[in-house]
Structure 1
Amino acid sequence: MTKGQAQAKISEAVSKFEIEFMGRGPKQIRTLIIQDLIIVRLKGFLSQSEQKLADNSQGVELLKKIRVMLFESARNYLEVLIKEVVDVHIISTHSDVSTKTGEKIIVITVAENLEDRFDK
């Protein structure tokens, strides 16, 4: 498998996760593998009601809390999906949402340099 193929499969897995556990998938998704990091950037994943909720600071705080709780409750499933693609121990998974841009970033730290594994 090439690096590009692995990145595409991770994007598919994260999109599946977002649809199943967060209620909807992103409009765009991009995955980068950089040594022992997997970085996933999702755009356009907030629903219209979430965008409306983010119009004020209390709504932003509530939205972020809900998204964090949902993500944390399903993190193990996401890690299983990622491990099926890269077959490496996952050390940690981090996520943050920007209500300003409607983007989400997921950073996954793994136990080895993934770039060494791919066909050149």
Structure 2
Amino acid sequence: MTKGQLESKLSELFSKFEIEYMGRGPKTIRTYIINDIIIFRLSGILSPSEEKLASSPQGIELLKKVRTSLFEGGRGYLETLITDFIDVAIVSTHSDISTKTGEKIVVITVDKNLEEMCTVK
């Protein structure tokens, strides 16, 4: 599998997680592999009601807490989707959401250099 194919499949898996666990998928998702790091960049993830909620400092704080709690609750499912697809162990998972842009970044580190596993870089 090429690096591009791996990134594409991981994007599909992350989109599946967002739809099945979070209730809706992002407008766009890009996945980047750099050595032992997987970076997911999602845009258009906030619902219209979440965008309205993010118009005040208290709403931003509440939105971030709820989104973080939801993600942490489903993190095991996401990690299982990834480890069932590629033979790696998850070392750590980090995420953050921008309430200004509606963008979410998730960074996952694994125990192997994924670029070396690909046939073409």
Query: Is the structural similarity TM-score above 0.5?
Result: yes
CA–CA separation in structure 2 for the residues paired with 1:85 and 1:44: 26
SS of structure 1 residue aligned to 2:41: strand
Percent identical among aligned pairs is: 65
Q: Structure 1 stretches of 5 or more lacking a match?
A: none
Are the equivalent residues in 2 in contact too, given 1:33–1:114 (CA < 8 A)? yes
Could you give the per-residue CA deviations for residues 50-84 of structure 1, whole angstroms, max 9, x where no partner exists?
A: 00100010000000000000000110000011112
TM-score by length of 2: 0.97
Are the equivalent residues in 2 in contact too, given 1:90–1:109 (CA < 8 A)? yes
RMSD of aligned residue pairs (Cα, Å)? 0.7
CA–CA separation in structure 2 for the residues paired with 1:53 and 1:19: 21
Moved over 6 A (4+): none
Tell me the residue number matched to 1:49.
49
Are the equivalent residues in 2 in contact too, given 1:95–1:104 (CA < 8 A)? yes
Q: Structure 2 stretches of 5 or more lacking a match?
A: none
TM-score by length of 1: 0.97
Tell me the residue number matched to 1:20.
20
Cα shift at 1:87: 1.6
The equivalences for 1:76-91 within 5 A come to 76-91=76-91
CA–CA separation in structure 2 for the residues paired with 1:43 and 1:28: 5
1:94 maps onto 2:94 in alignment? yes
Tell me the residue number matched to 1:119.
119
CA–CA separation in structure 2 for the residues paired with 1:111 and 1:95: 19
